[in-house]
Amino acid sequence: MTPPLSHPAHPPGLPTVRLRPKAEARAIRHGFPWVYADELVTDRRTQGLRPGTLAVLEDADRRPLGLVTVNPASRIIARMLDRDPAAVVDQGWFAARLTRALALRERLYDAPFYRLVHAEADGLPGVVIDRFGDLAVIQPNAAWAEAHLDALVAALVAVTGVVRVVKNGTGRARGLEGLPEETLVLRGTVDGPVEVPMNGAIYLADVLGGQKTGLFYDQRPNHAFAARLARGARVLDVFAHVGGFGLAALAGGADSALAVDGSAAALALAERGAAAGGFADRFATRQGDAFATLETLATEGARFDLVICDPPAFAPAKPALEAGLRAYERVARLAAPLVAPGGYLVLCSCSHAADLTAFRNASARGIGRAGRRGQILHTGFAGPDHPVLPQLAESGYLKALFFRLDG
């Protein structure tokens, strides 16, 4: 008779959750960090777990796979925290992950302005931390991170030496986790926007009231590439936020830059950034709907040597994919006529659901329908402070296409 299988015991006091027999345990073993609701045995006990509960995940044969956080109300019902089912999530646990993340950023950047933690790719599912010198902004976008926020903040201060910490608890992801929206100063004081040096320009990040953490570090390498194309150029930066591409272009030697955005507050920060960088005389803004403004500029006969469109996510999830791709096509169709012959058009997407091929095809259709032709010079992605988890395509969300258009 074959002896029964024996499995290692999991830590006392932790609940156990188990994959369904047909669930793909191999993917979890090979590094996929999520378990979807239809892959887990969701009996009354599991459904009764509070969002953010830590549990040991087992395969269908009751072999432990690791320590997970469970949220029965979420489509992603479990997220892998540690391959060691006996791991203890405390300040020391957070410090180990933050130390590893910090070592990478300090190797990449000379100044402490970067994304310090990029969620699953840095071993902290649902957690984003952006650093602005002595200040850090945490986005705890998963219920487990909210429950362990005190330990995370204590580890962050100890590892990095930051003295100011802001919790940005806003955004779609928190809603999906059943978390309230709130922004709080957890350590120190914040008395206004923070100056951020990047690519030779100075940006103003509103860490309390701006979008996400106040600034988008992910576009840093794409700003730099665009700046090389901007020397002596007339530049149009659409969906400019606080001046992302426009200010980098001016730092790179652009003759002028016009920033377009729907937010007056964001454009005011862009103007302050232009003044701080010494570019105020070459920088202008126009507030309004981006699509309407593109159409108006065309009727005015405006032409630019470099046009950049960096819109918000038109396809944040699969149900929005088709509508999102139509929106990207429309952006390209409206922007292409504004590019002077031989000029450059940069089109960006931060949509998880639209992969590179779909986005590139939509962009090419829009350019073609505008009566223009072009070549792709470069395809850009997020900077290395936004690492990609190979098993999780969603962690590589940003795409930037650089076109040179014919006459």
Give the CA distances from residue 234 to residues 49, 135, 200, in Å, rounded to whole numbers and listed in that order: 57, 35, 18
How far apart, in Å, are the Cα atoms of 241 and each of 25, 68, 114?
Answer: 42, 37, 18
Contact 366, 332 (CB under 8 A): yes
Q: What do you get for the CA distance between the two ends of the chain, in Å? A: 80
Q: Is the dihedral of CA 115, 117, 120, 126 positive or negative?
A: negative
What span, in angstroms and rounded, lies between the C-alpha atoms of 246 and 251?
A: 9
Q: What DSSP character marks residue 369?
A: H
Q: Catalytic: 350?
A: yes
Q: Which of 350, 362, 389, 405 is catalytic?
A: 350
Quote the CA–CA distance of 375 and 386 in Å, as a whole number: 27
| Beta-sheet pairing, 194-198 with 201-205 | antiparallel
Cα–Cα distance for residue pair 105/133, rounded to 1 Å: 13
- Residues annotated as catalytic are 350
